[in-house]
A and B are shown apart, each in its own frame.
Chain A
Amino acid sequence: MKLATEMGQGARDITLASRIFLGVGVVSLVAAVLLLAYHQGAFTKYIHVFFNAETADGLNKGMAVKLVGFKVGSVENISIGSDLGVRVEVKIDAQYAPMLGADSSVRLVREAIIGSNALEIRPGTAQLGPVLEYAFLRYEREPSVENAVVALLDQIAPIVGDIRQITAYLNAPDSDLRQAIHSVNRTASALEKTSVELRKLVATTAEGVERGSTQVSGVLGSADKLLRDAGTSLAVLDSSARKVDAALPGITSKIDQTLDNLRAASEAARAMMAGDLSSVIGEAGALVSDTGEVVRGARRSWPVSGFVQPPRESLLRLDGASGATANPSDGARGR
Chain B
Amino acid sequence: MRAACVAALLVYALGLAACGSAPPAQSDAEVRRERMVELNDRAQRAVALGDLRRAAALYRDALRAAESFEDFHSIGVNSLNLAAVYQALGEPEAARRALERVLSAPARFEGALVAQAAGLKASLALNAGDLDAAGNWLKRAEDGCPPPACRIQAALLVLRAELALARGAAGQARVEASRALAASRSEGSHEEEANALRVDGRAASAQGAHAEAVTLLGQALAIDKQLAHPYKIGLDLIALAETEALRGERDAARDYAQRALDVSRAAGNRQQQAMAMGLLERVR
Binding site for B on A (CB under 8 A): 296-298, 300-303, 305, 311-332, 335
Question: When the two chains form their complex, are residues A315 and B80 in contact, meaning their CB atoms are under 8 A apart?
Answer: yes
**A317 is contacted by which of B62, B87, B152 (Cβ under 8 Å)?**
B152
Given known contacts A296-B34, A313-B40, A319 and B195 CB-to-CB distance under 8 angstroms = yes
**Chain A contacts for B159, CB-based, 8 A:** 320
**Chain B contacts for A305, CB-based, 8 A:** 23
Question: When the two chains form their complex, are residues A301 and B23 in contact, meaning their CB atoms are under 8 A apart?
Answer: yes
Question: Is B254 engaged at the interface, CB distance under 8 Å to the other chain?
Answer: no
Looking at B41-49, B240-248, B275-283, the stretch in contact with chain A turns out to be B41-49
Question: Is B214 engaged at the interface, CB distance under 8 Å to the other chain?
Answer: no
Question: When the two chains form their complex, are residues A331 and B112 in contact, meaning their CB atoms are under 8 A apart?
Answer: yes
**Contact string against A for B residues 144-157, beta-carbon threshold 8 Å, 1 for contact and 0 otherwise:** 00000001101111
A-B contact pairs, 17 of them (CB 8 A): A300-B26, A302-B19, A311-B34, A313-B37, A315-B77, A315-B116, A316-B47, A316-B80, A316-B85, A317-B189, A318-B120, A320-B156, A320-B199, A321-B195, A325-B191, A329-B151, A332-B77
Question: When the two chains form their complex, are residues B21 and A311 in contact, meaning their CB atoms are under 8 A apart?
Answer: no
**Chain B contacts for A326, CB-based, 8 A:** 44, 47-48
Given known contacts A322-B87, A324-B47, A298 and B232 CB-to-CB distance under 8 angstroms = no
Binding site for A on B (CB under 8 A): 18-19, 21-24, 26, 33-34, 36-38, 40-41, 44, 47-48, 52, 55, 62, 66, 73-74, 77-78, 80-81, 84-85, 87-88, 110, 112-113, 116, 119-120, 123-124, 126-127, 151-152, 154-159, 162, 180, 189, 191-192, 194-196, 198-199, 229, 231-232, 235
Q: What is the CA–CA distance of A325 and B123 in the complex, to the nearest angstrom?
A: 14
**Chain B contacts for A328, CB-based, 8 A:** 44
**Chain A contacts for B26, CB-based, 8 A:** 300
Question: When the two chains form their complex, are residues B232 and A321 in contact, meaning their CB atoms are under 8 A apart?
Answer: yes
Q: What is the CA–CA distance of A301 and B87 in the complex, to the nearest angstrom?
A: 41
Question: When the two chains form their complex, are residues A324 and B73 in contact, meaning their CB atoms are under 8 A apart?
Answer: no
Q: What is the CA–CA distance of A97 and B123 in the complex, to the nearest angstrom?
A: 143
Q: What is the CA–CA distance of A63 and B21 in the complex, to the nearest angstrom?
A: 107
| A298-B23, A305-B23 known, 8 other contacts, Cβ within 8 Å | A300-B24, A316-B81, A319-B88, A324-B52, A324-B88, A327-B189, A329-B151, A335-B73
**Chain A contacts for B198, CB-based, 8 A:** 321
Q: What is the CA–CA distance of A216 and B121 in the complex, to the nearest angstrom?
A: 109
**B231 is contacted by which of A301, A323, A330, A332 (Cβ under 8 Å)?**
A323
**Chain B contacts for A300, CB-based, 8 A:** 23-24, 26
**Chain B contacts for A314, CB-based, 8 A:** 40-41, 44, 77
Chain A nearest CB, measured from B193 CB (Å): 10
Q: What is the CA–CA distance of A320 and B40 in the complex, to the nearest angstrom?
A: 22
**Chain A contacts for B19, CB-based, 8 A:** 301-303
Question: When the two chains form their complex, are residues B33 and A318 in contact, meaning their CB atoms are under 8 A apart?
Answer: no
Question: When the two chains form their complex, are residues A320 and B87 in contact, meaning their CB atoms are under 8 A apart?
Answer: no
Most buried by B among A296, A298, A301, A323: A323
**Chain A contacts for B40, CB-based, 8 A:** 313-314
Question: When the two chains form their complex, are residues B44 and A316 in contact, meaning their CB atoms are under 8 A apart?
Answer: yes
Chain A nearest CB, measured from B231 CB (Å): 4
Q: What is the CA–CA distance of A96 and B189 in the complex, to the nearest angstrom?
A: 127
Q: What is the CA–CA distance of A298 and B22 in the complex, to the nearest angstrom?
A: 9
Q: What is the CA–CA distance of A280 and B29 in the complex, to the nearest angstrom?
A: 32
**Chain B contacts for A335, CB-based, 8 A:** 73, 110
Question: When the two chains form their complex, are residues B116 and A297 in contact, meaning their CB atoms are under 8 A apart?
Answer: no
Question: When the two chains form their complex, are residues A312 and B37 in contact, meaning their CB atoms are under 8 A apart?
Answer: yes
Chain B nearest CB, measured from A327 CB (Å): 7
Q: What is the CA–CA distance of A127 and B87 in the complex, to the nearest angstrom?
A: 142
Q: What 3 pairs across the A-B complex have the smallest Cβ distances?
A: A320-B158, A313-B40, A326-B48
**Chain B contacts for A331, CB-based, 8 A:** 112, 151
Chain A nearest CB, measured from B62 CB (Å): 7
Q: What is the CA–CA distance of A172 and B9 in the complex, to the nearest angstrom?
A: 135
